[in-house]
Amino acid sequence: MEKEPVAIFWFRRDLRLHDNTALYHSLRSGLPVIPLFIFDTNILDQLEDKDDARVTFIYRQVESIRKELHKQGIGFEVRTGRPETIFTELIHKYNLKKVFTNHDYEPYAGKRDKKIKELFNENEIRFFSYKDQVIFEKNEIVKDNGEPYTVYTPYSKKWKATLNKFYQKSYPVEKYADRFFKQDLIAFPSLKQLGFVESAMKFPSPIPDNELLGHYNETRNYPGILGTSRLGIHLRFGTISIREIVRSAVELNETFLNELIWREFYQMILWHFPHVGEGKSFKPAYDLIRWRNNEEEFEKWCEGKTGYPLVDAGMRELSATGFMHNRVRMVTASFLAKHLLIDWRWGEA
């Protein structure tokens, strides 16, 4: 007997069940939808420290989604390995006709998706990818001559002029939740099986503090107070919707909206100038800088023992909490590269 035709929704940087663009379109595709998440070993194998807070954060969110789906009798395919290998296995397991996912703009993601598309083409599987983690992407906000912006202020002005209710509208995934493929609970790897240990790092709440955001312009510049949103990690991994957050920012505080636009500006830079994600300077001339690269000074910077109080406070906060205030991030980075003349790539790593 021929297996029932199905679609797959592939979670990546969009770890939520609500207001998720590609998930919404997959559930409206006319095919039962199998949710999938891949712990990509191309990425995990490069992480030397097995107490990695990012992996713990992702794991907990995947686990939470799995539990929510299980309540509805929906089996969540959570796999570990290289994406092309995993999809080859899934093509044999299911009668797979369509795969839906959301865009990822990083250089590795582009190479990964190119390989995956080739596999799908060979097997007559249609691949659909959507914008989800930003309001505007790629060539949507460019100069009048079609060139990408390289300066924030004119970019932000055009971004705001282009924004309307359409771009802020949520996708009502919940209306189509009955269109998932029903199957038994599928085995779920443990963190230990992934080769990692659970981080003791505490993660901020994904729920925006509207009172704080209302005073964001008054509080954000002072590292000694809790005056910023702490939503960065949730936007990074898509555990909250950018559309919901932008609606709040438009209503509550333009300064906070400006910070969200900075995020989109750099996503646009990454798309148009992918070399910045591959260890190269934005301006090629800066790759010619002759660094001092004093290892002893670098270690003191890492440990927060330079003797410069603001620099040291920021580095120690980062080590203890995984967070560093935006203003202090600029200070510590500038201190490393411009004062100590240590290669910024050392600091990034």
Nearest to 229 by CA among 16, 242, 131: 242
pLDDT tens digits, 290-327: 999 999 999 999 999 999 999 999 999 999 999 999 99
Q: What amino acid is encoded at 101 in this protein?
A: T
Task: Using the predicted structure, report yes or no on whether residue 98 has a pLDDT greater than 80.
Answer: yes
Distance (Å, rounded) from C-alpha 344 to C-alpha 349? Answer: 9
Q: Which pLDDT score is estimated for 1? A: 72
Q: What are the structural domain ranges in the chain?
A: 1-131, 134-170+208-279, 289-349
Q: Does position 187 have pLDDT exceeding 90, yes or no?
A: no
Q: Which CATH architecture has domain 1-131?
A: 3-Layer(aba) Sandwich (3.40)
- Tokens coding 191: 């963190």
- List, for residues 12-66, the tens digit of each pLDDT value: 999 999 999 999 999 999 999 999 999 999 999 999 999 999 999 999 999 999 9
pLDDT of residue 148: 97
CA atoms 131, 171, 70, 62: torsion sign: positive
Nearest-10 Cα torsion for 21, 43, 324, 311: -150
Q: What pLDDT band is residue 185 in, cutting at 50, 70 and 90?
A: confident
Q: Give residue 204's pLDDT.
A: 94
Distance CA 62, CA 66 (A): 6
83 class by beta-carbon count within 10 Å (0-12 exposed, 13-18 middle, 19+ buried) = buried
Question: For the domain 134-170+208-279, what is the CATH code?
Answer: 1.25.40.80
Share of the chain above pLDDT 90, in %: 95
Q: How confident is the model over 153-170, as a mean pLDDT?
A: 98
Query: pTM for this one?
Result: 0.94
Q: How far apart are CA 153 and CA 60, in angstroms?
A: 38
Domain 289-349 coded CATH 3.30.300.180:
no
Phi-psi region of 341 (alpha: psi -120 to 50; beta: other; left: phi over 0): left
pLDDT on residue 296: 98
Helix ranges, 72-106 (H): 83-93
- The answer to whether 146 touches 139, Cβ cutoff 8 Å, is yes
* pLDDT of amino acid 2: 84
Please report the pLDDT score of residue 314 as a whole number.
97
Q: Give 225-264 as a DSSP string.
A: S--S---HHHHHHTSS-HHHHHHHHHHH-HHHHHHHHHHH
Let me know the angle formed at the C-alpha of 127 by 102 and 9, rounded to the nearest 5 degrees: 50
By C-alpha distance, which of 264, 272, 8 is closest to 128? 8
- Mean pLDDT on 180-190: 90
Alpha-carbon span 238 to 67, nearest angstrom = 18
Q: Which among 240, 262, 333, 269 is positioned nearest to 13, based on CA atoms?
A: 240
Confidence of residue 186 (pLDDT cuts 50, 70, 90): confident
pLDDT tens, position by position, 217-251: 999 999 999 999 999 999 999 999 999 999 999 99
Q: Which two tokens stand for residue 320?
A: 């203890």
* The residue to which tokens 């001092």 are assigned: 292
